[in-house]
Structure formats: structure tokens, C-alpha cells
């Protein structure tokens, strides 16, 4: 049997570790990562190995040669242009004349590949994917398998709503040579994105084999360190070079440790490294080849590559140092800091947590490095959540953060592109908006300042000025809530796609920003009169004269600060008489009490950002959430829409309403982009624009001559409720997998989360994107049935968590 090692990756998220070497050559306990892959293949009985190369190919070729020193025969296949994972294997087709294994050269595993090959052959499979189970599956391809191992669903890098399992693709495959016939030559072609769907479309079963054992893809700097800590703890079955001189203490040949050195296990001291008396080598310290550690140095949870000088009194805490680094006396490097090759740090200088220094940098004596030139680490959680990027003002949402984020966004746009920017009327939001504009300008992108606005106004502005994108900054919640949100919008006025979010995140963490030359620096223009233009186009969507004739009396509750004179002017143009309650000074109940006096036709409550609205009928009934969604759907249908988009969480009554009008219901994922995307040709997104909903409600009441209570009563009654079930992040994928396994004989829909249909109702189990919890939605023919359904699945989630806790214990 033969194997192909994929070794062409740049390892961008590991920078600056990979500035001077490809990711497969990054050392783990003194050996290149790829050396462990070769050793695993050799122990599996694979002697002939092809290696695909692209980034710094000579480094790999020069180290491993023909493979003789490692007990194998190696051949190399270099890509002159990127061919993708499958395309690079196709490039080695002449080598592959029998069953073969494909494995990454930049991951560490101890899987029993012989067992996987045996399962592959027993199934008579053309292709088998080796799977494993992980706590957080977001960065991997998630697979769902039948009992016989056939893969029924495969999703690359899902959102939480798409995480149907904790079983992920490890990038290790077993193929028959015939699979190469499905890969086109000399073009970019990937396994997950292209080949696997093609095989399934052509009627070939794709099998998964869930392997037991250790696997780490070493996807970021934190994982790089943790992988070596796992090796020291014996969690990986792999050979460690050197001698075990004490429990969990390894030393390489000719390592010299003076008397009086404190060694705390687990730790690794590479060959030819010298450690002077009085030094403290704390737990989880890894020292590579030929390092010098002077007296009084203290190292803990740190990784040091080769031939570096660690001066007297140096303090390293959770740091990673590349090779040939000079740390003078009493330097301190703290948690998550990374120092690139050939850097020099003067005496008493400090590198703060998470700071990265690019190779060759010099830090003067006594200096403090607060910021880095390159950020290569990808945090476990994404920058983007369900509603953009959020953080605490001037803590993690700072002007310098905003500038870097905007530069990363700008790098994804062409030179000279225009981005509309706006904010609410908060002073800090304005500061962040200016920082965003500066970051965009530095990337050669122009900005159109839309001033103070709401997110719906920004959506409108982007389309009005034909900008390539838009960014809106706002405070979230009340003034006592210090969180700030940055929402990024595409050219059509809807939230940017997941693919662009990932592109921005990668550029941000790598600080791979495009810097424009001075002649290309972006400029600012101003969109004057946004609010007036927005109101004018809102009014074009209704029969103003018809509404005026009704002389509606409306009680309204909103915060005077963001809305100012905007709402009164809009209502005046519609001929409405308005009484206003300040949201800061009155409770929600006061609006309901005011409407109950019988003076008003309806009550309206609007949030500060203009996206959410609640209505009070003339009979004092509060219309919000699910019943409001049903009302908004009805209004769209009455207005002549032949399609309405609703989330998977919406009540089934929307299908009943649509059927009466001969319209189609599009069920989408429960996120803003998915809901707006099918109907982006509409002038305003009703589900995310409170003002548009308000004017359309008034227009519908005027046209139908109905009271709001009568319009609401025309909607059949339904019972829908929601429960939040706490669940740790690391258990979510496992809980989803166990739920799907249990529901395999049920009627299930998986547009977003798991929706299971039962007699008398349905239940939707949706992992929350921003919080460690599940949302459980249940609809029943009666309220009691909805409660029963929600309770059943909430209990299952809790029970599966208990199983997980017992397993970890």
C-alpha cells in the first residue's frame, strides 16, 4: 500500500512560526511535525510515500531527502499553481497504482490506520474518510453517518445551526486508485468541496470510519503549544527523541543540565542544550536543539525552538520562541506571546500577552511591546456572531481593534471601492466609526459617511449610494450595557456572507492587511440627508392619502435620544396624531395602559436600532415575536407578495396564510442574512425594519378598514414556545450527534438545527451561535402539547450532557 502526504500548506494561522518554514516542518518536541506522520505510516506498513509540495518545497525536500533515514522511500510532486487538496493528489497519479492513504503532513495523530484500511476493504468502498470526534466542530467538515458507516450528510466548516454532529473529517482518506478518474487534471479541486459531492452524485457511497485515538490539526498557535503538552502527558502514542531521565522528563543527546537546576515534569530538553545552575524549568517547557539558558531564568508552559540565548533572570510564561533568538537579562514574555526567528530583545524588555513579533525584530532595552506586527492566532471563538462583531467598549472593542478589523475588511475589497459607514448617536460609537473609516482608508477604500443612523437606514443607504458594502456601529441594549456592535453589510444591504466573514477573520488574525500607497489612500464623502431620503422612499411604499384620511391616533414608546424628531415628522406626513412615552422613563406596561383608555387606534413600541417593533391593538393585546411575525407575513401577502421568507422557528400557520393567497413560503436559517437573501429585491426587509412594518400596518388598516385587533384575529391561533437549555460549548456537537442518532427513524428536517415532527406538533433544537446554550422551539395543537414537546427535548439535551460529563470524568 502507498500513501500521499499533503505538505503544501503555508500555515498562515501559525505565523510567525511559519514565516521561514512550511507548516509540516514546524517542530513538535524537537522533530518536524511531518516526521511523526512518516513514522506513523512506516509503522502501518506503508513504505512508499509521495509528498505534495507547494510552499517552500526545498525545505521539506532538503530535510527528508529520499526518506531512507526514516525507513521509507519518498517521491515529491510539486505544484507550480495551487491545485487544491484533491488536485495535488491527482498531480501524483503516476505514483498511485493501488489502494492508497492520503494524510496531512501538518497534523499529529496516532490513529490505527490498519483498522481503517480493514474497514474500507470490508465495505468494498471507493473512498473512506477517517473521522474523529471533537468538542468544537466549527472549523472542520462535519459528517453524519448511518450505522453501516455510509455518510449521508457532509458539511464543510458549518455555523452552529448546521452542527449536526461532533464527528469531523480529519483530512485522512483511504482511496482506491479509480477515485482519481473523478478529479480533473491541472486545475484546483478539493476533496470536501468538489470530489466528495461528485462521488455521491455519481452513485458512489462515501464511507466514514470513526477512529479512536489522538488527533490534532494544529490549527492555531494555542493548539500548537497544547499539542506538545499532550505529547508530554503521554496522550499521544508517538516516539519522543531522547531519553526519559525521570517520569515525564526527556533529554536529548548531550544536553547539559547543571546541578541546582530545578526541573519540573513534564518537560523536554533537546540535544546540545545547556542550562545553567539556578534556572527553573517549569512544567510543560519544551527546549529544542542547542539552546543556552542562563542562571536564574524561569520558564513555564513555554516552547523554545533551536539555538536561542535565554539570558539570566529571563521569565517566560506561556510563550513560544522560534530559533536563533537573543533574550538579554530579565526579559519577560507572557501568555500567548510569540517571538519570530532571529529577534533580539534588550535587557528588561517586556512582551505583553498575545503579542507577536515578526522575524528579525529588535526590541530596545526596557521597552514594552504592547502590540504586534503580525497576529497569526485564530481564537477558538469567531470574531463574527449572529449580529456582527460585538465587544465591551474600550475593553475589547477598542479603536485600534476597529482599525485592524476595517483594514482586514478593506483587504477583501478592490482598491477604490466605497463603503458606507454610520453609527448611532453614542459618542463611543462615533469614535469607533472614525477608527473604522481610518482602517478602510489605509487599505485604499473610500468611505461614505452617513452620519447618525440605524441599521435599517444603513441597509437602505448602501443600496441608495451603490456602495460595495456598509458598516454600522451601535451600542447594544441600555446605557448601562457597555457592549458595542459592528454590523457589516454587503452591496445589496444584507449581512455579509459567512465566506466573507471568514476571509476577514483570517486577514485580521494574520494581520495580512493590504496597505495602500499614499496616492491610493481612501477618502471620505458625506451622504447628507439620509433620514429624509429614507422617509421619502418609505412613504412611496404606501398610499399616503388613504392613510391620512383615517386620521389614526397612535400611542408610541421609544427613546427620544436616537429618534429625535424623526418619528413625529414621519407620522405627521401620514396624518397621524401621536402621543409619545419616553422609553427611558416608562415601563412597557404604561404603553398598554395608555392604549386601553380607548383613545388610540393602536400602540407602537420601537427599539433604539429601528429593527424591532411591538404593537398594541385597540383591545390592548400585545403583538410581538411569533404573532408579530405572522402579522408581518399576512401584511406582505395582502400587499401582493408571491413569496415570503420566514425562519425555521416560525409557526406553521404562515403556510396556512400563504396558501390562501396562492403564495410560497421559503423556510430559511434563523439568521438575518438567510432571511433577507431570498427577497433582497424588495425595497425594505420588513422583518428587520420597524419603520417599514409600521407604515405597512397603517396602510393595511386604511385599505382594509379593519381595526388592528380584527386584522390580528384573522390569523388562526397557534401555540409556539421557546426554551433555553444551557450547554457548554464543548458538548454542543456531541449532543447534536446523539440527538440525530436517536431520531434516525423520525421525520426530521435539518435546514437550521434539527426540526423533528411529531403528532400534534414539532420541535426545533437549535444551537445558539453566541451563547453556550440550545434554543428549543416547540409548536403544538394545544399549549399543553407544545409544553410536552419542549420538555421532552430539553430533558434529552440535559441527559446527553450528563453522559458527556461522566465520559470526561
Determine the pLDDT at residue 521: 95
Is domain 719-808 given the CATH code 3.20.20.70 in the classification? Answer: no
Strand arrangement, sheet containing 368-369: 262-263, 280-281, 298-300, 315-317, 332-333, 350-351, 368-369
pLDDT digits (tens, 9 = 90+) for 231-242: 999 999 998 888
Residue 376 scores a pLDDT above 60: no
- With beta carbons less than 8 A apart as the criterion, state whether 73 and 66 touch: yes
CA–CA dist 256, 557 (Å, integer): 76
pLDDT greater than 70 at residue 372: no
Phi, psi of 228 (to 5 degrees): -70, -35
308: nearest Cα among 337, 277, 341: 341
Give the dihedral sign, CA 689/691/692/698.
positive
Q: Which fold has domain 241-369?
A: UDP N-Acetylglucosamine Acyltransferase; domain 1 (2.160.10)
Tell me: pLDDT of 155 over 90. no
Q: From CA 776, how far away is CA 764, in angstroms rounded?
A: 6
CB 303 within 8 A of CB 321: yes
Exposed, middle or buried: residue 162 (CB in 10 Å: 0-12, 13-18, 19+)? Answer: buried
How far apart CA 749 and CA 751 sit, in angstroms, is 6
pLDDT at 481: 65
544-713 and 719-808 share one fold: no
Average pLDDT over residues 45-67: 91
Q: What pLDDT, on the 0 to 100 scale, is given for residue 477?
A: 64
User: Dihedral of CA 738/744/745/750: which sign?
Assistant: positive
CATH topology of domain 384-528: Alpha-D-Glucose-1,6-Bisphosphate; Chain A, domain 3 (3.40.120)
In tens, the pLDDT along 293-322 reads: 999 999 999 999 999 999 999 999 999 999
Residue pLDDT, tens place only, 468-514: 999 999 998 655 568 899 999 999 999 999 889 988 988 887 666 78
Beta bridge pairs of residue 128: 174, 207
Residues sharing a CB contact under 8 Å with residue 555, sequence separation 6 or more, in sequence order: 578, 579, 581, 591, 594, 595, 600, 602, 603, 604, 616
Label residue 639 exposed, middle or buried (CB < 10 Å: 0-12, 13-18, 19+).
middle
Question: Which stretches does DSSP call E strand in 571-718?
Answer: 577-582, 602-606, 613-616, 622-623, 643-647, 664-668
> What is the length of the chain?
809
Whole-angstrom distance, CA of residue 41 vs CA of residue 384: 39
Q: How confident is the model at residue 758 (pLDDT cuts 50, 70, 90)?
A: very high
Residue 298 CB neighbour total at 10 angstroms: 20
Query: What element of type H or E holds 437?
Result: helix 427-442
Q: How much is the average pLDDT of 362-367?
A: 84
User: For 510-538, what is the mean pLDDT?
Assistant: 89
Q: Is the pLDDT of residue 523 over 90?
A: yes
Question: Is the pLDDT confidence value at 808 over 50?
Answer: no
Give pLDDT tens digits for 314-340: 999 999 999 999 999 999 999 999 999
Of 372-386, 634-648, 675-689, 703-717, minimum mean pLDDT range: 372-386
pLDDT confidence of residue 536: 95
Q: Look at the pTM and tell me if it is higher than 0.85.
A: no
Question: What's the pLDDT at 478?
Answer: 57
Bond prior to 16 in cis (omega within 30° of 0): yes
pLDDT band at 563 (very low <50, low <70, confident <90, very high): confident
Residue of 28, 26, 34 lying closest to 4 (CA atoms)? 34
pLDDT digits (tens, 9 = 90+) for 76-90: 999 888 888 999 999
Per-residue pLDDT band for 166 (boundaries 50, 70, 90) equals: confident
Between residues 141 and 794, which one has the greater pLDDT?
A: 794
Distance of CA 363 to the CA centre of its chain: 34
Q: Which CATH number, 1.20.1640.10, 3.40.120.10, 2.170.140.10, 3.40.50.300, labels domain 544-713?
A: 3.40.120.10
Tell me which of 477 and 417 has the higher pLDDT: 417
806 — pLDDT class (breaks 50, 70, 90): very low
Taking residues 150-155, report their average pLDDT: 81
Question: What is the per-residue pLDDT across 626-647, written as a single tens digit (0 to 9) for each?
Answer: 999 999 999 999 999 999 999 9
Please write the tens of the pLDDT for every residue from 420-479. Answer: 999 998 999 999 999 999 999 999 999 999 999 999 999 999 999 999 999 999 998 655
Q: Check: CB of residue 754 under 8 Å from CB of residue 164.
A: yes
Domain ranges of the chain: 2-216, 241-369, 384-528, 544-713, 719-808
Looking at residue 768, what is its pLDDT? 87
CA-based nearest residue to 339, from 367, 302, 289, 312: 302
CATH fourth-level superfamily of 2-216? Spore Coat Polysaccharide Biosynthesis Protein SpsA; Chain A (3.90.550.10)
Rounded average pLDDT over 192-215: 89
d(CA 777, CA 770): 17
Per DSSP, what are the bridge partners of residue 581? 557
Q: Which of 369-373, 636-640, 663-667 has the lowest mean pLDDT?
A: 369-373
The reported pLDDT for the residue numbered 701 is: 97
pLDDT of 374 > 50? The answer is: no
How far apart CA 349 and CA 346 sit, in angstroms, is 6
Degrees (nearest 5) of the Cα angle 205, 110, 19? 95
Amino acid at each position: 500500500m502507498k500513501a500521499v502526504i499533503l505538505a503544501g500548506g503555508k500555515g498562515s494561522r501559525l505565523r510567525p512560526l511559519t514565516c521561514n518554514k512550511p507548516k509540516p516542518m514546524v517542530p513538535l518536541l524537537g522533530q518536524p511535525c511531518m516526521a511523526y506522520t512518516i513514522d506513523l505510516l512506516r509503522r502501518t506498513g506503508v513504505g512508499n510515500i509521495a509528498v505534495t509540495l507547494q510552499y517552500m518545497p526545498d525545505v521539506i525536500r532538503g530535510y527528508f531527502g529520499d526518506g531512507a533515514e526514516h525507513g521509507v522511500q519518498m517521491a515529491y510532486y510539486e505544484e507550480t499553481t495551487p491545485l487544491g487538496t484533491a488536485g495535488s493528489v491527482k498531480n501524483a497519479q503516476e505514483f498511485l497504482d493501488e489502494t492508497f492513504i492520503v494524510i496531512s503532513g501538518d497534523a499529529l495523530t496516532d490513529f490505527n490506520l490498519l483498522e481503517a484500511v480493514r474497514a474500507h476493504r470490508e465495505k468494498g468502498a471507493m473512498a473512506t474518510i477517517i473521522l474523529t470526534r471533537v468538542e468544537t466542530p466549527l472549523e472542520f467538515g462535519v459528517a453524519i453517518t448511518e450505522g453501516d458507516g455510509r455518510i449521508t450528510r457532509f458539511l464543510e466548516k458549518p455555523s452552529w445551526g448546521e452542527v449536526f454532529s461532533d464527528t469531523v473529517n480529519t483530512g485522512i482518506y483511504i482511496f482506491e486508485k479509480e477515485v482519481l478518474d473523478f478529479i480533473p487534471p491541472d486545475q484546483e479541486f478539493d476533496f470536501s468541496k468538489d470530489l466528495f459531492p461528485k462521488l455521491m452524485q455519481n452513485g458512489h457511497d462515501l464511507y466514514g470510519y470513526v477512529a479512536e485515538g489522538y488527533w490534532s490539526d494544529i490549527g492555531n498557535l494555542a493548539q500548537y503549544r497544547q499539542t506538545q503538552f499532550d505529547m508530554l502527558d503521554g496522550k499521544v502514542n508517538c516516539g519522543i527523541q531522547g531519553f526519559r531521565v525521570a517520569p515525564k522528563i526527556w533529554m536529548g543527546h548531550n544536553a547539559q543540565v547543571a546541578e541546582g537546576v530545578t526541573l519540573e515534569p513534564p518537560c523536554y530538553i533537546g540535544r546540545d542544550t545547556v542550562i545553567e545552575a539556578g534556572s527553573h524549568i517549569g512544567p510543560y517547557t519544551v527546549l529544542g536543539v542547542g539552546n543556552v539558558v542562563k542562571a536564574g531564568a524561569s520558564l513555564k508552559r513555554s516552547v523554545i525552538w533551536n539555538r536561542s540565548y535565554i539570558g539570566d533572570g529571563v521569565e517566560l510564561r506561556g510563550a513560544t520562541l522560534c530559533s536563533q533568538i537573543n533574550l538579554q537579562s530579565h526579559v519577560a514574555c507572557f501568555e500567548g506571546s510569540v517571538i519570530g526567528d532571529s529577534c533580539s530583545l534588550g535587557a528588561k524588555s517586556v512582551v505583553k500577552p498575545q503579542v507577536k513579533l515578526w522575524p528579525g525584530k529588535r526590541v530596545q532595552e526596557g521597552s514594552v511591546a504592547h502590540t504586534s506586527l503580525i497576529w497569526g492566532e485564530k481564537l477558538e471563538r469567531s470574531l463574527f456572531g449572529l449580529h456582527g462583531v460585538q465587544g465591551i467598549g474600550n475593553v475589547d472593542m477598542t479603536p485600534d481593534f476597529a482599525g485592524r478589523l476595517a483594514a482586514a475588511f478593506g483587504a477583501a475589497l478592490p482598491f477604490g471601492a466605497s463603503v458606507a459607514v454610520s453609527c448611532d448617536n453614542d459618542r463611543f460609537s462615533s469614535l469607533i466609526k472614525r477608527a473604522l473609516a481610518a482602517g478602510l482608508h489605509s487599505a485604499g477604500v473610500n468611505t461614505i459617511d452617513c452620519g447618525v443612523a440605524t441599521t435599517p437606514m444603513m441597509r437602505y443607504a448602501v443600496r441608495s449610494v451603490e456602495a460595495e458594502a456598509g458598516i454600522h456601529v451601535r451600542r447594544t441594549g441600555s446605557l448601562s450595557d457597555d457592549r458595542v456592535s459592528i454590523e457589516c453589510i454587503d452591496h445589496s444591504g444584507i449581512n455579509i456572507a459567512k465566506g466573507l466573514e471568514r476571509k476577514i477573520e483570517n486577514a485580521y488574525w494574520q494581520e495580512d492587511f493590504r496597505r495602500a500607497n499614499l496616492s491610493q489612500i481612501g477618502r471620505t464623502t458625506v451622504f447628507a440627508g439620509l433620514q429624509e431620503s429614507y422617509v421619502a422612499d418609505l412613504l412611496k411604499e404606501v398610499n399616503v392619502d388613504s392613510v391620512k384620511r383615517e386620521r389614526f391616533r397612535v400611542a408610541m414608546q421609544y427613546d427620544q435620544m436616537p429618534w429625535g424628531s424623526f418619528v413625529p415628522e414621519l407620522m405627521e406626513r401620514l396624518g397621524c396624531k401621536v402621543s409619545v412615552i419616553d422609553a427611558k422613563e416608562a415601563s412597557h406596561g404604561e404603553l398598554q395602559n395608555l392604549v386601553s383608555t380607548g383613545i388610540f387606534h393602536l400602540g407602537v413600541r420601537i427599539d433604539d436600532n429601528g429593527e424591532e417593533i411591538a404593537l398594541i391593538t385597540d383591545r390592548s393585546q400585545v403583538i410581538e415575536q411569533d404573532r408579530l411575525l405572522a402579522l408581518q407575513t399576512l401584511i406582505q401577502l395582502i400587499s401582493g407578495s408571491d413569496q415570503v421568507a420566514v425562519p425555521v422557528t416560525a409557526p406553521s400557520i404562515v403556510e396556512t396564510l400563504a396558501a390562501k393567497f396562492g403564495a410560497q413560503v421559503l423556510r430559511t436559517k434563523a439568521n438575518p442574512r438567510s432571511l433577507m437573501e431570498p427577497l433582497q429585491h424588495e425595497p425594505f426587509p420588513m422583518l428587520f425594519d420597524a419603520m417599514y412594518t409600521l407604515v405597512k400596518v397603517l396602510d393595511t388598516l386604511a385599505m382594509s378598514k379593519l381595526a388592528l385587533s380584527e386584522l390580528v384575529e384573522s390569523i388562526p391561533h397557534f401555540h409556539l414556545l421557546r426554551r433555553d437549555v444551557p450547554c457548554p460549548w464543548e458538548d454542543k456537537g456531541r449532543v447534536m450527534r446523539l440527538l440525530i442518532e436517536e431520531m434516525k427513524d423520525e421525520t426530521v428536517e435539518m435546514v437550521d438545527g434539527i426540526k423533528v415532527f411529531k403528532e400534534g406538533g414539532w420541535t426545533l433544537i437549535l444551537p445558539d451561535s453566541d451563547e453556550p446554550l440550545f434554543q428549543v422551539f416547540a409548536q403544538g395543537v394545544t399549549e399543553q402539547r407544545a409544553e410536552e414537546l419542549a420538555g421532552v427535548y430539553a430533558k434529552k439535551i440535559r441527559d446527553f450532557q450528563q453522559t458527556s460529563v461522566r465520559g470526561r470524568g
